[in-house]
Amino acid sequence: MNHGRDKIVELVDRDSVIISHHARVRTFERNISTDDLLSAIRVGEIIESYPDDEPCPSVLMLGFIRADAYHVVIGICDDHLRVITAYMPDVEHWIDTRTRRRRE
């Protein structure tokens, strides 16, 4: 997954990031600045990959904003990143910040 990380960092550094309306609403609700969001993406860890997503493959990243863990879903397109959503992992869906609970 390193190739994906390299491309993510490159696109963030080039300011080639589109933040969806949904992600803008969520980050506003949580008082997260665009700079904090981009920083969390730039240094974040890919914890899940969705190579078949359309129109671009996407990943779930774990990043930290003011010491709080956040998950950020981003589409990795040829010439830009698309931030789809950002949220704090909760115990109902996550065992810890990296491990999803399995549905029975």
8-61 pLDDT, tens digit each: 999 999 999 999 999 999 999 989 999 999 999 999 999 999 999 999 999 999
pLDDT of residue 100: 87
Q: Which helix (H) or strand (E) holds 9?
A: helix 2-13
3-state secondary structure of 48: strand
CATH fold group of domain 2-87: YaeB-like fold (3.30.2310)
Q: How many other β-carbons are positioned within 10 Å of the β-carbon of residue 18? A: 13
pTM score over 0.75: yes
pLDDT of residue 103: 72
49-97 pLDDT, tens digit each: 999 999 999 999 999 998 999 999 999 999 999 999 999 999 888 989 9
Could you tell me the residue ranges of all domains in the chain? 2-87
